[in-house]
Structure 1
Amino acid sequence: MGSSKERVVAVIMVGGPTKGTRFRPLSLDIPKPLFPLAGQPMVHHPISACKKIPNLTQIYLVGFYEEREFALYVSSISNELKVSVRYLREDKPHGSAGGLFNFRDLIMEDNPSHIFLLNCDVCCSFPLPEMLEAHRAYGGMGTILVIKVSAESASQFGELVADPDTNELLHYTEKPETFVSDRINCGVYVFTPEIFTAIQGVSSQRKDRANLRRVSSFEALQFSTRSLPTDYVRLDQDILSPLAGKKQLYTYETMDFWEQIKTPGMSLKCSGLYLAQFQFTSPHLLAGGDGSKSATIEGDVYIHPSAKVHPTAKIGPNVSISANARIGPGARLIRCIILDNVEVMENAVVIYSIVGWNSSIGRWSRVQAEGDYNAKLGVTILGEGVTVEDEVVVINSIVLPYKTLDVSVQDEIIL
C-alpha cells in the first residue's frame, strides 16, 4: 500500500446536454448522470466506488451541464459520504483528456500522487483500490481498466493489446474496422501527474502544426475542416495510442461485469447489475417480503422508503421503485424502473419498462417489451407525466412526456 501521506483525487466525466440524445426521452427531464439506477443516481455508483480509494482527498465531477443542475446532488452526496465532491463546469467540450487538463490547477491543488479518471456512463464494480495497487507495482504513468468481450462486440470500443506477462499496453486503437483484440478499454484509469505533461505535449504539437500550415488562405481553409482545436484532446486517440509500447501505460483486467450506458435500455440492464452487486456491498438497500404482511419480492429489488406497495403486489426480479410511488393491489412488476410519484393501479403489469416521473398506469393495463436492451424499441419507455388508461396494452414503444394513451399501441414512438 502507499504512504499514509499520499493523496489521491478522482475525476468523473459527466458530459453535457449536447450529448446523451440517445438517452431521450428520459434526459429531457434530468441530466443523464442523475438518472437513477438501482435507486441511486447513475453518477452515485462511481462516486461510492471512489470513496473506497485509500487516501482519497477530493472527487471532481467535470462536465458542461449548468452548475445549478448538480448543486443539490453534490451537496447531499458530500454530506452522505463524508468526502468533498465538487462540480467543475467546462465552458465548452475539451475532450476527455482536455477536460482533465483544463482544470489541472485545481486537480493538483493538494499535490496528489495519483489521479483517477472515470467516465460516468460506465457500469462496473469499479475495482479502484486494486487498480491503484497494480499501478504502483507497474511503475508507469497510467493504468487502464480492461475487460475481455466477444470478438463480435469488440469493434464498438477501444481495442488494445497488452503484454501477457508485464501487462504493458503495446497497442491501442479506437473502434477499429478490422479485429485487433477481444480486450477493450473500460473507460476507467489511474494516472500519475505526468499525464498533464503528455496532454500539454499534444496541444503544443497541434499548435506547431497549425503555425506551419499558415502558408496560404486556401491551404488554411482546406486544413481547418479536419483539424481539431488545440485545447481539444482525446484520451484514446491522442494519448493512449501514441504512448502504447513505450513502457508508460499498463492494463488491469477485471473479471467482473462491465457495460456502457448509452441508451435507456442499457440503463435498465445496468440497474439490474447494480442491484445484484448490492447483495455484497449494500444488502440493506434490497427489499424483502413473502406476501404476508408486505408484497412478495422475487430476486433483487430496491424500494424507496417513501413508496407505498400493496401487500398483494408481486415485485421482481430487477425492479427499482423510486420515491412516493404507489403500487396497487395485484400489480406485477418485472425488470423495470419505476420513477418518482408513479402510480401503478390494481392488477396492472409492467415488464422490461421504464415508467417516467408522475406517470400513471391504469387498472388491468400492461406496459411491457421484449427485453432486448440494445434494440431501439427493446424496452418500453414512458416519459414524464404519461397516463395509460385502464385496460390499455403498451408493447415495445416509446411515449414522450405528458401523453394520454386510451388505446393499445405496439412498436410505436408516440410523439
Structure 2
Amino acid sequence: MGSTEEKVVAVILVGGPTKGTRFRPLSFNTPEPLFPLAGQPMVHHPISACKRIPNLVQIFLIGFYEEREFALYVSSISNELKVPVRYLKEDKPHGSAGGLYYFRDEIMEESPSHIFLLNCDVCCNFPLPNMLDAHKRYGGIGTLLVIKVSAESANQFGELVADPTTKELLHYTEKPETFVSDLINCGVYVFTPKIFSAIQNVNLLREDRADINHVAGFQSQQLATRSPPTDFVRLDQDILSPLAGKKQLYTYETMDFWEQIKTPGMSIKCSALYLAQFRVTSPHLLASGDGKKNATVVGDVYIHPSAKVHPTAKIGPDVSVSANVRIAAGVRLMNSIILDDVEIKENAVVMNAIVGWKSSIGKWSRVQADGDYNRKLGITILGEAVTVEDEVVVINSIVLPNKMLNLSVQEEIIL
C-alpha cells in the first residue's frame, strides 16, 4: 500500500427496483445489476475494472434494492477480488450526487485522496488507472470519461464541450433539444473529496430558496413543491453544468467501446463486447471446440463449466451459456444469452435471443429475431420458465414468465 494520501475508493451506483422496469421481464426476480453479461453479473464488470486501480482500499455499491438481494454476491466478490465490497442501501432515491453525499461518512472512512464514481448500466473497458493519471495532471475536483458518438444519437445523453488543449469541461447540458456537441458523458468519474463541498453547496442553496419561498407565501410554496427535495442532487444538472468553465472539471476521452444498457436488447450487444474484451483480459473464460470431443465453437463464447453441451452442437459467435444448461445434439446458437437451468433440445436454433431461467426449447424449434437492439421487439426474450414445444417458431417476440407456446408467434408480446 502507498502512502496514506494515495488511498482510492470506488462507488458504483446500482439504482433500484423502480429503475428496472425497462428491463422487464428479465428483472422480475433478478435485480438488473445481477443480470449476467458474458457469464458475469452486470455489476461484476465495473467492479473487476476497479480492481486495477492502484491503492484501491474499498468498493461501495449504492442503491435502493433490499440488502438481502446483494448479500451473497457482495460476500463472494469480496473474497474473489480480495478487496472489501460493501452494499449501502439508500432510504429513498437521492439522485446520482445525492447518494454519494448521503453516504459521505462511510466513503471517507479511509480518508481517500480520490473517489471513483461509476454507473452500473454502463458497458465499456473502464480505463480507470489512465483516468486517474490524467486527473492528477489536470488538477481540479473531477474528471469525466467522455466519448465521441454520432451527431444523431448524441441528444440521448449529456452533451459537452471541452477545451481541445487543456481538456477542461467548458459547457455541459443533459439531453439537449438542439445539437451541442458529439462529445458525450460516459457516466464514469474520478473526484477529489472536494466533490462533497460542491454537493453541499447545492443543498444549502436549495434550503435558502425553500426558506425564501416559505416567507414569500402560498404561490411560491406551490412552486417549491414542484422542485426536487433539498437532498435530491443530480450529478449532471446540479453539479456538472454549474461547474463547467470554472477550471474545476476536466475530460478524458476513450477511444474504446462504450454503451449504456438501457434495454434487454442492449444486454446482448454488451455481452458480446465483454466477450471480445475477454480475449485480452481473461482468455481462460472463453470456450473453444472443434466439433470432435467438444461442440464446435465459433468466435467469442462463454460456457459455464456446469453446462452440458453435445459435441454436435455449434455455438457462436457472441453466445453466453450459464450454469446447468443442457444443449442437445444438432443445436445451433448465435448471438444469444442462455440463462441458468435452460434445456435446448435436438436441432433447435436460437439467434438474437435471451432465453430465461429454467426455460425449455423443443426439438426442431426456432427462437430468433432480426437483432435490432434499439427496437422493442428487435430481439426475442423468453422470460423465466417458458416452454416452447417441438417445431414451434418464435420470432421477434417477448414472452412473459411461465408460459407454454405450442403455436408459432411473430412480432408479439405474450402476456
- Alignment TM-score, normalising by the size of structure 1: 0.99
Aligned residues of 1:330 and 1:348 also touching (Cα < 8 A) = yes
SS in 2 for 1:294: coil
Q: 1:182 to 1:229 in 2, by over 3 A?
A: same
Structure 1 stretches of 4+ moved >4 Å: 2-5
- Aligned residue identity for 1:90: E
Contact 2:354–2:382 (CA<8 Å) still a contact in 1? Answer: yes
Name the SS for the 1:27 alignment partner. Answer: coil
* 1:4-83 to 2 correspondences below 5 Å: 6-83=6-83
1:317 matched residue in structure 2: 317
Provide Cα deviations, 1:354-406, integer angstroms capped at 9, x if missing partner: 00000000000000000000100001000000000000000000000000000
Q: Are positions 1:234 and 2:234 aligned together?
A: yes
Helix, strand or coil: the match of 2:352? strand
**Residue 225 of structure 1: CA displacement?**
3.8
Q: Which residues of structure 2 form unaligned runs of 5+?
A: none
Please say if residues 145 and 253 of structure 1, whose CA atoms lie closer than 8 Å, have aligned partners that are also in contact. Answer: yes
Taking the TM superposition and a 5 Å limit, the aligned residue runs for 1:187-226 are 187-215=187-215, 217-226=217-226
Matched residue type, 1:172:
Y
Give the Cα separation in 2 of the matches to 1:109 and 1:5. Answer: 13
CA contact (8 A) 2:387 2:402 kept: yes
Q: For residues 279-307 of structure 1, what are the alpha-carbon distances to aligned partners after superposition, in whole Å with 9 as ceiling and x for unaligned? A: 00000000000001100000000000000
CA deviation profile, 1:149-193 (whole Å, cap 9, x unmatched): 000000000000000000000000000000000000000000000
Moved more, 335-344 or 215-224: 215-224
SS at match of 2:27: helix
Question: How far off is 1:329 after superposition?
Answer: 0.2
The amino acid across from 1:296 in the alignment is T
Other-structure match for 1:355: 355
Aligned length: 415
Q: Deviations over 1:20-71 (max 9, x none)?
A: 2110000001000000000000000000000000000000000000000000
Determine the structure 1 residue equivalent to 2:121.
121
Matches within 5 A, 1:243-392: 243-392=243-392
Distance 1:225 1:406 in 2: 53
Which amino acid in the other structure matches residue 17 of structure 2? P
For the Cα contact (< 8 Å) 1:351–1:369, is it kept in 2? yes
- The CA deviation at 1:224 is 3.0
Residue 101 of structure 2 aligns with an amino acid whose one-letter code is F
Which AA in structure 2 matches 1:35?
F
| 1:145 CA drift (Å) | 0.1
Q: Which amino acid aligns with 2:7?
A: R
CA distance in 1, matches of 2:332, 2:114: 48
Equivalent residue for 1:149? 149
Quote the offset at 1:217 in angstroms: 4.8
- 2:86, 2:318 → 1: CA distance? 32
Partner amino acid for 1:26? L
DSSP 3-state at the match of 2:335: strand
Counterpart secondary structure, 1:179: coil
Unaligned runs of at least 5 residues, structure 1 = none
1:107 counterpart letter in structure 2:
I
Q: Distance in 2 between matches of 1:33 and 1:262?
A: 12
Deviation at 1:218, TM superposition (A): 2.4
Letter in 2 for 1:247: K
Seq. identity, %: 79
Aligned partner of 2:401 in structure 1 is 401
Q: Is the 8 A contact 1:294 1:311 kept in 2?
A: yes
- Mean Cα deviation higher: 220-229 or 129-138: 220-229
Residue 411 of structure 1: aligned partner: 411
- Root-mean-square deviation (CA, aligned residues, Å) is 1.1
- Aligned residues of 2:214 and 2:221 also touching (Cα < 8 A): no
C-alpha separation between the residues in 2 aligned to 1:102 and 1:351? 44
1:115 positional shift: 0.1
Q: Does the 8 A contact of 1:4 with 1:55 survive in 2? A: no
